[in-house]
């Protein structure tokens, strides 16, 4: 097992500097600067196509930025020599479509990366997995296959899978957008618990209520730039920018 | 004017009538005694046992299984090369795949059987006939399977690889643990079909020059046919092939049916 490199406590959890991303001729991110402190919950809102997912995916290098730098707890993940796999194992990611491994049971979904990436023994991995399944309220479904779970249950398993890697922070890309309305609450409840435990979280969401209640910071993106950011209650009650006002008037 | 239903009924009657006519004609025109002597000679058939099973059928199964295993491994490697971001890997894999798909299997067998010993005197593929058949048939099968496997890998949703990578898995680990197992589930039916084709192509082993212990079904059938001057041997051998291929075909149909329902 590799020695854990303790995060630099002074550094921001995520620090993004002048980030640009281009797909062909289409510039999707046009110079993004922002940071998340340890323990902060930052919610990102904005119209569809504004680049929210791309920004999130750049943070753990699922997309390679065209220009700019991203630091994760002081380490530059955009550095060509960075050990991206090791950094990723410290950043949990939850997808809109859950992306559970359909050929594995719930328990196996939670254990595989613990064993193959963290080098934990089977017994150790199972113990951690069971603890996290209990946390998301699905202790009794460990031998089910993903296809036999509801969307809400699948998303909670996906969260537990990320948590089993003991991440320092979690990224969420519209985690409730693919869910039936009555299942959204369970997932949000799990996320609220996480936030209250002090997990650093970056959440792309359309759940304005969640952003207001749980968020420490709200970021509004439009057309590849951050238009406005600040305390969620202030931004939501009193948006400064015209584009923010227009967007909020549609979703609120 | 007849209604559509009446017309459909009439068409069905005509089809039945044609069928009956053909059967009746066959029954009258064919020399059944001669056919039975030629194709269903009990004595000839009885003499073929047990060797048709203990040697011929056994060898067919072994040749096919080894070639399939080799071809599968080769197919996975070629498929991964085809999907590589490194250009030369893609070109080499494409070249190999197109070559062995484009050339008749018989030519590959001849090249392995006579070409390799001539080109590399003193060196030969280990494992005698089995080794040669594994390589020759495996190359052909692997080339076909590579494209199937590639399609299977590409059919696995992109989010699966992303989820695995986001957990810190390397690309290789994610392929082995997450993507390839799912790809194989998708392509199990076409792979089984490939196994059926390989079973039949294993008959080409005759060009490698086999002796009694290495004969497979077709060769064994031809030898028996020559010594007995009866076509019964072919009937027995053909039946043995069906013993392998029909269960496989049933398995494929089951899997396809299940995949259809799961969709
Ligand atoms: N892999 C890709 N290739 C090409 N264009 C992409 C890709 N991913 C995203 N885009 C484009 O980038 C823009 C922003 O997408 P995205 O970040 O998903 O927005 P959001 O999450 O805010 O809806 C869209 O116009 C989308 O078409
Ligand atoms: Mg998005």
Atom of ligand 1 nearest to the CA of A173: 21
**The model scores a pTM over 0.90:** no
What are the tens digits of pLDDT across the range A199-226? 999 999 999 999 999 999 999 999 999 9
What is the B166 CA–ligand 1 centroid distance (Å)? 19
Q: Does A95 touch chain B (CB under 8 A)?
A: yes
pLDDT computed for residue B214 by the predictor: 86
Q: Tell me if B188 sits within 8 A of B216, measured CB to CB.
A: no
- Compute CA A172 distance to the chain's CA centroid, rounded to the nearest angstrom: 3
Mean pLDDT of A220-239: 95
Q: Is residue A124 part of a domain?
A: yes
Two structure tokens written together for B203? 């008959």
Of B159, B170, B177, the CB nearest to A112: B177
- State whether residue B50 is helix, strand or coil: coil
The structural domain count of chain B equals: 1
State whether the Cα torsion B24-B30-B32-B35 is positive or negative.
negative
Least confident of A2-6, A211-215, B65-69, B159-163: A2-6
CATH number at residue B148: 1.10.3720.10
What are the tens digits of pLDDT across the range B104-115? 999 999 998 887
pLDDT computed for residue A3 by the predictor: 45
What are the tens digits of pLDDT across the range B67-94? 999 999 999 999 999 999 999 999 999 9
What is the A62 CA–ligand 1 centroid distance (Å)? 13
Cα angle for residues A212, A214, A215 (degrees, 5° grid):
70
The structural domain count of chain A equals: 1
Q: For residue B248, what is the DSSP state? A: H
**A84 pLDDT exceeds 90?**
yes
pLDDT computed for residue A1 by the predictor: 43
Least confident of A84-98, B174-188, B211-225: B211-225
* Separation between Cα atoms, residue A107 and residue A114, nearest integer Å: 11
Q: Is residue B6 part of a domain?
A: no
pLDDT computed for residue B36 by the predictor: 84
Two structure tokens written together for B72? 């599968």
Two structure tokens written together for B85? 């971001």
| Alpha helices, DSSP H, located in chain A | 52-59, 84-88, 106-116, 122-135, 151-163, 181-196, 208-214, 232-237, 242-251
Q: Is residue B244 part of a domain?
A: yes
What is the A51 CA–ligand 2 centroid distance (Å)? 7
Q: Is residue B11 part of a domain?
A: no
Q: Is residue A79 part of a domain?
A: no
pLDDT computed for residue B49 by the predictor: 86
The preferred substitution site among A21, A28, A48, A56 for testing ligand 1, maximizing ligand atoms within 8 Å of CB, is A28
Instruction: Print the domain residue range for A89.
Output: 38-53+84-249
CATH number at residue A210: 3.40.50.300
Q: Tell me if B83 sits within 8 A of B152, measured CB to CB.
A: no
Q: Is residue B52 part of a domain?
A: yes
* Separation between Cα atoms, residue A146 and residue A103, nearest integer Å: 8
Q: Is residue B18 part of a domain?
A: no
**B240 pLDDT exceeds 60?**
yes
pLDDT computed for residue A195 by the predictor: 96
Q: How many helices (H) and strands (E) does chain B have?
A: 14, 0
Of B159, B168, B182, the CB nearest to A113: B168
Q: Between helices A151-163 and A106-116, what is the axis angle to 10°?
A: 20
Q: Atom 12 in ligand 1: which residue has the minimum CA distance?
A: A28
Q: Is residue B221 part of a domain?
A: yes
Closest A-chain CA to B262: A147
Q: Is residue B251 part of a domain?
A: yes
| Interchain proximity B168–A162, CB inside 8 Å | no
Higher pLDDT, B62 or B121: B62
Q: Tell me if A136 sits within 8 A of A156, measured CB to CB.
A: yes
Q: Is residue A98 part of a domain?
A: yes
Q: Does B161 touch chain A (CB under 8 A)?
A: no
Residues 140-159 of B with CB under 8 A from A: 157, 159
Q: Is residue A3 part of a domain?
A: no
Q: Is residue B138 part of a domain?
A: yes
A71-98: buried (b, 16+ CB within 10 Å) or exposed (e) per residue? bbbebebbeeeeebbebbbbbbbbbbbb
Q: Does B184 touch chain A (CB under 8 A)?
A: no
Q: Between helices A151-163 and A122-135, what is the axis angle to 10°?
A: 130
User: For residue A32, what are the β-bridge partners?
Assistant: A19
pLDDT computed for residue A2 by the predictor: 44
Q: Does B170 touch chain A (CB under 8 A)?
A: yes
Q: Between helices A122-135 and A106-116, what is the axis angle to 10°?
A: 130
Q: What ipTM score was computed for the predicted complex, to two decimals?
A: 0.93
Atom of ligand 1 nearest to the CA of A174: 21
Instruction: Print the domain residue range for B204.
Output: 44-262
How far is B134 from chain A, CA to nearest CA, in Å? Answer: 31
């Amino acid at each position: 097992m590799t020695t854990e490199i303790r995060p630099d406590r002074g550094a921001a959890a995520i620090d993004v500097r002048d980030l640009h991303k281009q797909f062909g001729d289409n510039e999707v991110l046009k110079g993004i600067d922002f940071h998340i402190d340890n323990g902060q919950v930052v919610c990102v809102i904005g119209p569809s196509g504004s680049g929210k997912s791309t920004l999130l995916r750049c943070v753990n290098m699922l997309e390679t930025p065209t220009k700019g730098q991203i630091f994760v707890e002081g380490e530059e993940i955009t550095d060509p020599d960075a050990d991206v796999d090791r950094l990723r194992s410290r950043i949990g990611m939850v997808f809109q479509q859950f992306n559970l491994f359909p050929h594995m049971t719930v328990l196996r979904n939670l254990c595989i990366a613990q064993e193959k990436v963290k080098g934990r023994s089977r017994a150790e991995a199972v113990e951690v997995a069971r603890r996290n399944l209990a946390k998301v309220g699905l202790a009794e479904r460990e031998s089910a296959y993903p296809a036999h779970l509801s969307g809400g249950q699948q998303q909670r398993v996906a969260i537990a899978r990320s948590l089993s890697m003991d991440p320092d922070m979690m990224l969420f890309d519209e985690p409730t957008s693919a869910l039936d309305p009555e299942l959204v609450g369970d997932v949000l409840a799990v996320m609220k618990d996480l936030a209250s435990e002090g997990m650093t979280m970056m959440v792309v969401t359309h759940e304005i209520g969640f952003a207001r209640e749980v968020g420490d910071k709200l970021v509004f993106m439009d057309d590849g730039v951050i238009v406005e950011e600040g305390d969620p209650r202030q931004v939501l009650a009193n948006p400064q920018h015209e584009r923010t006002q227009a967007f909020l008037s549609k979703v609120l | 004017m007849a209604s559509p239903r009446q017309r459909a009924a009439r068409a069905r009657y005509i089809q039945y009538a044609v069928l009956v006519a053909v059967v009746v004609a066959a029954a009258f025109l064919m020399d059944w005694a001669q056919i039975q002597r030629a194709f269903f000679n009990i004595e000839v058939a009885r003499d073929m046992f047990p060797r048709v099973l203990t040697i011929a059928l056994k060898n067919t199964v072994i040749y096919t299984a080894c070639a399939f295993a080799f071809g599968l491994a080769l197919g996975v490697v070629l498929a991964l090369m085809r999907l590589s971001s490194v250009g030369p890997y893609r070109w080499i894999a494409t070249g190999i795949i197109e070559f062995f798909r484009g050339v008749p299997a018989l030519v590959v067998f001849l090249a392995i059987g006579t070409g390799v010993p001539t080109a590399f005197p003193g060196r030969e593929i280990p494992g005698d006939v089995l080794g040669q058949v594994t390589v020759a048939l495996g190359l052909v099968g692997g080339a076909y399977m590579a494209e199937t496997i590639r399609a299977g890998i590409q059919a696995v949703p992109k989010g699966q690889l992303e989820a695995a990578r986001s957990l810190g898995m390397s690309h290789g680990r994610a392929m082995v643990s997450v993507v390839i197992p799912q790809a194989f589930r998708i392509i199990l039916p076409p792979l089984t079909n490939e196994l059926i084709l390989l079973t039949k192509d294993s008959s080409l082993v005759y060009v490698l020059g086999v002796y009694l212990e290495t004969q497979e079904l077709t060769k064994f059938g031809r030898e028996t046919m020559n010594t007995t001057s009866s076509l019964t041997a072919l009937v027995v051998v053909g039946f043995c092939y069906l013993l392998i291929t029909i269960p496989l075909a049933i398995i494929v149909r089951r899997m396809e049916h299940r995949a259809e329902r799961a969709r």
